[in-house]
Amino acid sequence: MKIVFATNNHNKIAEIKDLLPCEIQILSLKEINCNNELPETQNTLEGNAVQKAEFVFTNYGYNCFADDTGLEIEGLNNEPGVYSARYAGVHCSPEENMQKALQKLEGKNNRKAKFRTVIALIMDGKILLFEGECKGEITKEKAGEKGFGYDPIFRPSGFDKTFAQMSKSEKGVISHRGIATRKLVEFLQES
């Protein structure tokens, strides 16, 4: 079975290849000669994941899946959510995004937050969604050097360290993306 992962992120492709048996061949966008910027103009994670997968299925004819992730902070009405990558502006850095979240939370007691990942799979024209979430809270200060994005300010529930203080494998067991990915892998293995 050949299936396209609609992402340009090599780490994500390598990660899922490690989890799947070799009968399921994962193709990158580059491998199907897709050099387009994928559309991502919806205002929900589900909407964006489906939009990206549908773009590949419609234009290239491959079964395909795509993911979208957001950080939802309870005390900020679930901001930044679907806008997590560009919270502080279109070309902003992860540092600027984290500073914006920390500033907006100043003086608030509720620092609960969760990461949510949605994976949309299109198989023979049928759409399926797989979701993973990781609950935790936003710390008052950054801690840790590992990971990416908001990892230094997110402490998962039940742990006394941030995602940025965890190894990749430690994070993968409890992370939103790890959970959603394992659900997808289980489905593909049974198909």
Binding site for ligand IMP (CB under 6 A): 68-71, 84-85, 94, 115, 147-151, 163, 175, 177
| Residue in 120, 174, 118, 179 with CA at minimum distance from that of residue 151 | 174
DSSP 127: E
| Residue in 188, 168, 164 with CA at minimum distance from that of residue 178 | 168
Active site residue ranges = 68
Least distance to ligand IMP, CB of residue 23, Å: 27
- 136 near 156, Cβ under 8 Å? yes
Residue 63 or 97 having the CB closest to ligand IMP: 97
CA dist list (Å): 91 to 75, 95, 188? 25, 12, 36
Distance from chain centroid for Cα 41: 16
At 121, phi and psi to the nearest 5? -115, 130
3-state helix, strand, coil in the chain (%, to 5): 40, 25, 35
Instruction: Please give the Cα distance from 84 to 72 (Å, whole number).
Output: 9
